[in-house]
Amino acid sequence: MNTDFTDWLRGLGDDRVRALVAARPELITPVPAHVEGLAIRATSPSATGRALDRLDRFSLAVVETLLVMTAEDGPGLAYGELRAAMAASVLPQEAGLLPGALRAAVDELLGLALIFGPESALRLAPGVRDVSESPAGLGPPAVEAFRHHPPERLRELIEAVHLHDAGGEEPVPARLAALLAEGVIVERLLGDVSPQARAALEELAWGPPAGRLPNARREVSVATAQSPIEQLLARGLLAATGEETVVLPREVALVLRGGRVHRDLRPVAPPLEGAERDRSLADRTAAGQAFSFVRTVEELCEMWGVDPPGILRAGGVAVRDLRRTAQLLDLPEWTAALVVEVAYAAGLVAASAPVDGEWLPTTGYDGWRVKATEDRWEVLAAAWLAGDRVPGMVGERDDRDRLLNVLHPELRRPAAAEVRLRTLRVLASAGLGLAPTAASVRERLAFEQPRRRGAYRDRLVDFTLREAEVLGLTGLGVMSGFGRALLPAEASSRSGASRPGSAPAELLAPLLPEPVDHVVLQADLTAVAPGPLTSELGRRLALTADVESKGGATVYRFGDASIRRALDAGSSADDLLAMLEKHSTTPVPQPLRYLVTDVARRHGRIRVGTAGSYVRCDDPSVLDEVMADKRSAPLRLRRLAPTVIASRSSRAMVVDALRALGYSPVAESSEGDVLVTRADAKRTERPPSARPGPGPAGLDPDVVTAAVRAIRAGDEAHLARRRPVAAPDGQVPRSPSTGTVLALQEAIRQGARVWIGYLDSQGHATSRILEPARMEGGYLTAYDETRAAVHRFALHRITGVADVN
């Protein structure tokens, strides 16, 4: 551990240490024992990599500039020199922004303990070099690039090319590196090569600095070089690092770059670009989408409560089940997958069993559906924002060419929640009414987290933008006011879009359409809902009729199957007609009244019980029809009496088969009572896992304060600890057991030091200087000055006690 860094960290005030651990919470998980432990943890590869991942492109460029311009054990870089180096890399039109941006970046890096020292000698913290590969796209220094070259070959380069004596005590790679560090020599060498060779170097100058070359370690000299690449190898402008790889030394690249470390560096984030929208219209659009999403999730749970899909052996939902669900919800398959995944993330659906189970609504769904719409939306949006699953990958294949189904275990991605949160923060930082393009959002995120840029993250960003629109966090591409309120405070406060302390549900509620509690019944056996129905009416109408079309108004159609479904759920014909009369703005049409009474008249005439199972009916002619129907043969029916038929099949199978034949049977218990089967009766337990909120809000200030206080106290004890002392010379003390115990008791009472003889595990007598603390259970607890630690000593192994001179 670099003692300079530890001393600098120890000299920081408590406020700065608190800010450090608040910005890097992994440093106090668990709390280190002292400042030296804090320094060791702060400079570990994993902690340093995490801190670098948090930097934006400009702050990372400051670190890279220090990496290039300072040596590991060399002096630091003055702030003025750093500013001059950064000024050479910044775009000319943004040079005026450099002073403020550089000051903020240096303060941030000091606060993160990635750099340390006074402004006259800024240095990189230990460990930063170890996790930084190819800083600013530069290759390794020449001393590393030529490290494994034969000394004879390097001497030829120094003597023949650089016209320099190859003698001396300095290692040959270091002498070659020192020569390449002189820009004049590199400029002369570049002037000696062909334009083609110079063009090859220009390709590598701004990175990546390595390339592939067959037979890279070939023997070549200035006189024998023929190709452009051989000209570069012969002059040491390229270094072979393998049999087929070459690299451009850092010193050569800096000359090619004109002394700049970076090219076209921006000190501030690029502006977001996009279309301007009316903000109130965007909020209303987002609210409509949020309302639709909540109702769709409710419709999904009601549907799966009646007819749940099975669980695949590999986990998830089968493609055919997703397709059927998408058709019933009247949604594209990717949107249906999103609805299913969000319902799962919110704990509203779950697997009934690990094997051979079904995907069912949970007991938590019943509590969720009675909440207000805005509260239900907040639960769903928060679960999506904090979830680690990626619904957008449904339908793709994994590395082993296995299909990723909806709810498949392999849809989890650790970075999903962070990318969602950062993407929405970018949208929240846009001007009010601005709908940023996907390309500008990706560009902004690439500036904010350059070390995490890649095609995978860009895909997550695209998924986030698409899904946020469906959930209602955005409307017309603009971040909604209630969507901003769902984000952590630091994201919302920059835009000022929502009132301080406003909950998302409070902001959403006034924008939601008012539910209606009535429908318009029509003579063609349809009902028209002129708006979103109340939850209770919507559930009862969905049980009694089938949705025919959606839009501004929803059309429901009544039929034999839908009426029978309501009767199976325990309703009677009078109940259904009373419900329709109560909620219809028009009288119940006669065709609908006839349909309800006719289905109810036939409903339950046949009773199915348990034999295997039995079928009974008061009208023998109905059973005659059943026995005569060839389609009933698989049930293996047997006539026991004029009004009773027995079957070897189960009761549920007989009920389903008779319904398929056009009858309307009901199941009954062994006592003859009708078994009411409710459409929402199937439930499973809600999974116990509690998901975190939308993004970490940071450590609690009280926790940070307590941790820093503990580190300071431990550091004081660590610095004040006594060093081991030498054991006294001469024979180890020996005394009777009784005298030994009495002497130790007296030393404990007076707080005095004693010299004891002690037998180790091999029976050898050793001398110890102790400060006895307590004696109990046949053991002595004491501070051992010869070991500088607290130990327990077995009393029967103490040979004797003597005073310390």
pLDDT at 168: 53
pLDDT > 90: percent of the chain = 25
Distance CA 634, CA 632 (A): 6
Sheet with 613-617, strands from edge to edge, namely: 637-641, 644-647, 613-617, 606-609, 666-667
HSE of 498, CA atoms in CB hemisphere, 13 A: 27
Q: What is the pLDDT averaged over residues 398-403? A: 81
Percent of the chain with pLDDT over 70: 91
Q: Is the pLDDT of residue 560 over 80?
A: yes
More confident residue, 675 or 422: 422
Q: Which pLDDT score, from 0 to 100, does residue 493 have?
A: 37
Mean pLDDT (whole number) for 777-803: 84
Average pLDDT for 33-60? 90
Higher pLDDT, 655 or 390: 390
Helix then strand then coil, % of the chain, to nearest 5: 50, 15, 35
Identify the pLDDT of residue 76: 87
Residue-level pLDDT at 492: 35
Q: Three-state DSSP class for 126?
A: coil
Distance, in Å, from the CA atom of 24 to the CA atom of 50, rounded to the nearest integer, reads 8
pLDDT-based confidence at 111, cuts 50/70/90? very high
* 715 or 412, higher pLDDT: 412
Q: How far is CA 346 from CA 202, 349, 502, 723, in A?
A: 54, 8, 22, 57
* pLDDT mean across residues, the chain: 84
Could you tell me the two tokens for 323? 């397709």
Q: What is the pLDDT of residues 373-382, one digit of tens each?
A: 899 999 999 9
- Does the pLDDT value for residue 440 go beyond 90? yes
* CATH number given to 737-803: 2.30.30.100
Whether 615 has a pLDDT exceeding 50, the answer reads yes
At 136, give phi and psi (nearest 5°): 55, 25
Q: Can you say whether the dihedral through the CA atoms of 429, 430, 435, 437 is positive or negative?
A: negative
One-letter amino acid of 736: P
- Statement: residue 208 has pLDDT above 80: yes
The pLDDT confidence band at residue 606, using thresholds 50, 70 and 90, is confident
Pick the range with the lowest mean pLDDT from 91-95, 168-172, 363-367: 168-172
How far apart CA 63 and CA 51 sit, in angstroms, is 12
Residues of the chain with CATH 2.30.30.100: 737-803
How many other C-beta atoms can be found within 10 angstroms of the C-beta atom of residue 418? 16
Residue 372, CA distances (Å) to 375, 505, 506 in order: 5, 9, 11
Q: Provide the H-helix boundaries in 95-227.
A: 98-111, 142-145, 151-156, 172-180, 183-192, 195-205
Angle (deg, nearest 10), helices 333-345 and 279-306 = 80
How far apart, in whole angstroms, are the C-alpha atoms of residue 444 and residue 439? 9
Place of tokens 């051989």: 230
Higher per-residue confidence, 210 vs 693: 210
* Residue of 505, 530, 657 whose CA lies nearest to 583: 530
Instruction: Kindly state the DSSP code that residue 532 receives in the 8-state scheme.
Output: P
Of 106-110, 129-133, 192-196, 611-615, the poorest mean pLDDT is in 611-615
* pLDDT over 70 at 694, yes or no: no
Instruction: Please report the pLDDT score of residue 144 as a whole number.
Output: 83
83-92, 121-130, 609-618, 731-740: segment of lowest average pLDDT? 609-618
Give pLDDT tens digits for 314-350.
888 999 999 999 998 889 999 999 999 999 999 999 9
- Decide: 467 and 289 in contact? Cβ < 8 Å: no
**At 695, is the pLDDT very low, low, confident or very high (cuts 50, 70, 90)?**
very low
Q: 657: part of which helix (H) or strand (E)?
A: helix 651-660
pLDDT at 719: 75
State the pLDDT at residue 671. 67
